[in-house]
Structure 1
Amino acid sequence: MSVVKRFVAGATCPRCGEMDTLRMYRDEEKEYRECVECDFEDAMRLDGEPDAAEELETRVNRVPEPIPADAQPLNFVANPGSKRRDH
């Protein structure tokens, strides 16, 4: 039996955020989805029972790197030669 993988139109990858890169396929026990851009893979059981899985690291729940103590803020100053006026 060959597996037919189909792209999901309009779907966004939960890891990389790219649209139209997810494809789905299934076997007798599970339905799978995978991203062709970032190699994300996920599976869901067809009988509705939960799998013991850890939370997927995404761009939303990543722990940010700490800001160094010696970091300096950037100050943006308007170009003195510009003709733009703020009203």
Structure 2
Amino acid sequence: MTVKRKRFIAGAVCPHCQSKDTLALWSDNDVESFICVKCGYTQQQTDGTNAEKRPLPEHIIGIFHPE
């Protein structure tokens, strides 16, 4: 069994109990998970690609090109 190292997220607030500095984050097989050590709330999110994070071309107002 492989043990994953958990890291606390400074300043993060639990979406369930609203406690600050109680969220621990870890990654396992490209799936990020976190848990609130106070109330036990957990959430998982798969790691998306950069293409998924880019805005749609119709949502871009303009691109800055410094000279």
- TM-score, normalised to structure 1, is 0.52
1:25 aligns with 2:26: yes
Which structure has the larger Rg? 1
Whose relative contact order is higher, 1 or 2, with alpha carbons under 8 Å and at least 6 apart? 2
How many residue pairs get matched? Answer: 49
- Bigger fraction of residues in strand: 2
In structure 2, distance between residues paired with 1:40 and 1:14: 8
- TM-score, normalised to structure 2, is 0.66
Letter in 1 for 2:12: A
Q: Kindly report structure 1 stretches of 4+ aligned residues shifted beyond 6 Å.
A: none
